[in-house]
Structure 1
Amino acid sequence: MLVKCTTASRHLYFQGLHPEPSLDHRLRSALLRRLGLRFEPSWKAAVKATLLIRNIGQLATPAGTDAVRGSSMDRLTVIKDAAIAIDLERIVWVGPEADLPPIDDPAPNEIDALGRTVVPGFVDSHTHFVFGGYRDEEFLWRAEGVPYMEIHERGGGIATSVNATRAASVDELMALAGNRLARMLELGVTTVEGKSGYGLDLETELRQLAVMSRLSSLQPVDIVPTYLGAHSIPMEFKGDPSGYVDYMIATVLPRVHEQSVARFCDIFCEKGVFELEESRRYLEAAAALGFKLKLHADELYRLGGAGLAAETGAISADHLLKADPVDLVKMANAGVVATCLPLTAFVLREPYPDVKAMMTAGCAVALASDLNPGSCYSQSIPLMFAIAVLYMGMSAEAALTALTLNGAAALDLAGDRGSLEPGKLADALILDAPSYRHLAYHTGMNIVDTVIKRGKVVSIRS
């Protein structure tokens, strides 16, 4: 269901920037415009802007400063013939171009959207983009049907990535990760979460996080760093997951906190890796240091990770392929974002997440790529969007919400980005399409033409 605003965006007027004009006033204004007369209604206060995006055929955005839950994800604000006024990094006005208020001097730069569609920048809230080495041979083994344990016996699995990442220098990781970020930007990603987790030791985990910190100042995509030392059990602690948790709590978490290189801590809460009690102990220690929490939960087994996410006040729980419906309700009640990773299920040929169950439970659902060297070497937003609509039963409106505002909420950033509203960061995409629905309809194709990040054009194809 759409909330269409074709003459005046009631939602945006309620942002407190303008009183809503009377119907009589609007009709007089429209008549004078049709007569070709210049007229600025008295209710329009001038705004200061450094950039105007004009001639937007369709503007589509979720709304609000918090995650959108359940069936509300199926609603967008859609404005025809729209414009956006931006002052430096922030949006100051959004609405029908016919209602654009006067702009203070000096005159701003302008972008002609050529009647195309504008949506918020995408927020990819779950990736592992800093790693060394590749596992393409393992990918083909899996495609041939080789079981996981046999792949492990052949030398595959996460240990391959750990060894390659430990051996990589900062400069090597910078080059590899920088190239991946550049491709994300072309696909419309303006904010990305990045996890460590391919070192499983103090030195390499800090190196991965340092790479993210350095890249943050060298390219336009905002990076939200997550410490994921609890990704697997390293060889040094083989058979002793509890001992490895003790090591992280005593040695690694304090150093990561001291250096301020991660906002989140994450753990792979899974049978045979980190069980519930080990995960709880680790998460409580991380929270005590001030880290915000995330979980890889209930991907392979119904262990109860989704319920633990609710119990510990995590910002998000991710994967959730086997999550208990009761735990989904607990997540919804606790405000935990349910992050679905369709590309991983696609690559592993596993059933897709039950988004309908999550939305029925009242969860806010986010979509993310899970870019990583093993189970999902892909950051393809177009493929992910198509899978969400074609195979997971999401509406185009829900998928766009999941990839923008709810992705921001999964990083605790919904108050700052994820929608095109006054006060938020000016992160916007111009699509080479007449409607946002083409994100699914033009299946698997990148239709992002122009990327605007913090009020600046940072990528353009046409």
Structure 2
Amino acid sequence: MMWDRLLVDCNIATFVESPGNPLGLIENGAIGVADGKIVRVGKRTELAGFRARRVDALGGAWLTPGLIDCHTHLVFGGTRADEHAMRRAGATYEQIAEAGGGIGATVKRTAAASDEQLLEQSRRRLHALMRGGCTTVEVKSGYGLDPASELRLLKIAGELGEGEAVRIVPTLLALHALPADKRDRRAQYVGDVVDKLIPAAAKQGLATSVDAFCETIAFTPEEVERLFKAAAHHGLRVRLHAEQLSNQHGAALAAQYRALSADHLEHLDEAGAKAMAAAGTVAVLLPGAYYALQEKKTPPVALLRKHKVPIAIATDCNPGTSPLLSPTLAMNMACTLFGLTPEEALAGMTTNAARALGLAHSVGSIAAGKQADLCAWRIESLAELGYWVGLPGPERRIFNGADS
């Protein structure tokens, strides 16, 4: 068999665990690629007898899986730089929302932008993540707040990846915020989401999972559970913004419905961590939001480790509470703010991030049969990926077997 390319003269972090080698490290390794997929990984000497149309010597670079940003709100109009100034002056998340800022402000700016404008703005943000090493990016809706507008944003998210060397995973953030004009018709609003939006998104194939914001300033566990039941009925997986500002026991609810992930989790308790572990629900930690909001309570990393809950890391790129466009900075923040090891942070943006999106069968690690999504880093050790503040990105980024 003639391979398309052979990558040699590299050290590889496969993230395929073996006894005594939890990161699956291979020194002086090689990777064979054909038809966009990895066909063989091993020591260079083990692949010496195979032929390839192209052989690339990487000069001792470290190869990792392509980075995966598993939680972003990438499609939105305008910015909320004004709120940044308010927050620096001491305003809280709740006060900004009550003053007409917050999610509602972005909803107005998003509605005022044309599809072309939203694509252009969102693509610039996407390109920044790609330069940082991302080969897969999750993109949520959530700035529409009515069925037609949410479907519009999902369609734009899907179009965002067209012609780009990146994999886009659209998520329907169906219950994000209650519109101001629906405050007296809360049940009706949730009913429209459950009865109209979920079926339409599922029928049109616009999303593979459904998300919600379970919080005192957003939606109750009872409302979220109604949403989860509708999602399950239509064959959609679920995820949840949970325990960010208070403990609403959303993580345990998410685990009850076998959620792919529960995200934020600053106020997670042990019962929630146990439930997540039993369900295989991934904990997605978002240091950008913690930093921007100047939170004081960190996610209970020790509790997650104790119960062996997989930990993923994401930028949470959004206009109000995490204007973060650097996956490498997100890894550094996870180490410096949350106490993760560099290895945990890297796993959090590769193998565990893939699990959080239900894509562990195809991306997130370097193994035969997986997509050839790779990053080549000019570093001495993997620890540098959680050490440098604002590392620009990989020396080479490979998507589906091709340089990009």
Q: Is the counterpart of residue 92 in structure 1 residue 39 in structure 2?
A: yes
State whether residues 6 and 31 of structure 2, in contact with CA within 8 Å, keep that contact through their aligned partners in structure 1.
yes
Offset of 1:447 from its aligned partner?
4.1
Does the C-alpha gap of structure 1 residues 141 and 73 become closer, same or farther in structure 2, counting only changes over 3 Å? farther
Q: Is the counterpart of residue 255 in structure 1 residue 200 in structure 2?
A: yes
Question: In the alignment, which residue of structure 1 is the partner of 2:183?
Answer: 238
Q: 1:447 and 1:379 mapped to 2: Cα distance?
A: 11
Q: 1:393 and 1:150 mapped to 2: Cα distance?
A: 30
Partner letter of residue 238 of structure 2? L
State whether residues 220 and 453 of structure 1, in contact with CA within 8 Å, keep that contact through their aligned partners in structure 2.
yes
Question: In the alignment, which residue of structure 2 is the partner of 1:19?
Answer: none
Alignment of 1:59-458 (within 5 A): 59-63=12-16, 75-104=22-51, 107-350=52-295, 351-458=297-404
SS in structure 1 of the partner of residue 213 of structure 2:
strand
Offset of 1:177 from its aligned partner?
1.0
State whether residues 16 and 22 of structure 2, in contact with CA within 8 Å, keep that contact through their aligned partners in structure 1.
no
Alignment of 1:43-58 (within 5 A): 47-56=1-10, 58=11
SS in structure 2 of the partner of residue 391 of structure 1:
helix
Partner letter of residue 211 of structure 1? I
Q: 2:228 and 2:237 mapped to 1: Cα distance?
A: 9
SS in structure 2 of the partner of residue 115 of structure 1:
strand
Does the C-alpha gap of structure 1 residues 370 and 436 become closer, same or farther in structure 2, counting only changes over 3 Å? same
Does the C-alpha gap of structure 1 residues 74 and 277 become closer, same or farther in structure 2, counting only changes over 3 Å? farther
State whether residues 128 and 195 of structure 1, in contact with CA within 8 Å, keep that contact through their aligned partners in structure 2.
yes
What do the CA deviations read for 1:34-92 (whole angstroms, capped 9, x no partner)? xxxxxxxxxxxxx5310111111x2113116xxx9xxx999311111111110121101
Does the C-alpha gap of structure 1 residues 395 and 161 become closer, same or farther in structure 2, counting only changes over 3 Å? same
Q: 1:377 and 1:347 mapped to 2: Cα distance?
A: 8
SS in structure 1 of the partner of residue 12 of structure 2:
strand
Does the C-alpha gap of structure 1 residues 424 and 434 become closer, same or farther in structure 2, counting only changes over 3 Å? same
Does the C-alpha gap of structure 1 residues 446 and 354 become closer, same or farther in structure 2, counting only changes over 3 Å? farther
Q: 1:61 and 1:395 mapped to 2: Cα distance?
A: 17
Q: 1:429 and 1:241 mapped to 2: Cα distance?
A: 46
Offset of 1:108 from its aligned partner?
1.6
Does the C-alpha gap of structure 1 residues 362 and 97 become closer, same or farther in structure 2, counting only changes over 3 Å? same
Partner letter of residue 281 of structure 1? R
Partner letter of residue 361 of structure 1? H
Larger Rg: 1
Offset of 1:436 from its aligned partner?
1.4
Q: 1:332 and 1:147 mapped to 2: Cα distance?
A: 32
Could you state the TM-score of these two structures normalised by the residue count of structure 2? Answer: 0.96
Q: 1:150 and 1:275 mapped to 2: Cα distance?
A: 20
Partner letter of residue 31 of structure 2? I
Q: 1:206 and 1:419 mapped to 2: Cα distance?
A: 32
Offset of 1:101 from its aligned partner?
4.2
SS in structure 1 of the partner of residue 322 of structure 2:
coil
SS in structure 2 of the partner of residue 212 of structure 1:
helix
Partner letter of residue 363 of structure 1? V
SS in structure 1 of the partner of residue 376 of structure 2:
strand
Partner letter of residue 87 of structure 1? A
Does the C-alpha gap of structure 1 residues 346 and 168 become closer, same or farther in structure 2, counting only changes over 3 Å? same
Offset of 1:142 from its aligned partner?
0.2
Offset of 1:155 from its aligned partner?
3.0
Q: 2:323 and 2:68 mapped to 1: Cα distance?
A: 18
State whether residues 287 and 337 of structure 2, in contact with CA within 8 Å, keep that contact through their aligned partners in structure 1.
no
Does the C-alpha gap of structure 1 residues 291 and 381 become closer, same or farther in structure 2, counting only changes over 3 Å? same
State whether residues 9 and 60 of structure 2, in contact with CA within 8 Å, keep that contact through their aligned partners in structure 1.
yes
SS in structure 2 of the partner of residue 116 of structure 1:
strand
Offset of 1:153 from its aligned partner?
4.7
What do the CA deviations read for 1:154-195 (whole angstroms, capped 9, x no partner)? 431111000011111111111011111111110000001100
Partner letter of residue 139 of structure 2? G
Partner letter of residue 378 of structure 1? L
Q: 1:239 and 1:291 mapped to 2: Cα distance?
A: 29
SS in structure 1 of the partner of residue 30 of structure 2:
strand
Q: 1:369 and 1:288 mapped to 2: Cα distance?
A: 30
Q: 1:320 and 1:303 mapped to 2: Cα distance?
A: 10
Offset of 1:325 from its aligned partner?
1.0
Partner letter of residue 259 of structure 1? Q
What do the CA deviations read for 1:78-136 (whole angstroms, capped 9, x no partner)? 111111110121101111112214224xx422222111111110111100000001100
Question: In the alignment, which residue of structure 2 is the partner of 1:34?
Answer: none
Offset of 1:208 from its aligned partner?
0.9
Offset of 1:432 from its aligned partner?
1.6
Partner letter of residue 396 of structure 1? P
Offset of 1:272 from its aligned partner?
3.6
Segment drifting more, 447-456 vs 348-357 = 348-357
Partner letter of residue 215 of structure 2? E
SS in structure 2 of the partner of residue 140 of structure 1:
helix
Q: 1:330 and 1:153 mapped to 2: Cα distance?
A: 34
Identity of matched residues, %: 36
Q: 2:118 and 2:98 mapped to 1: Cα distance?
A: 27
Q: 1:215 and 1:443 mapped to 2: Cα distance?
A: 28
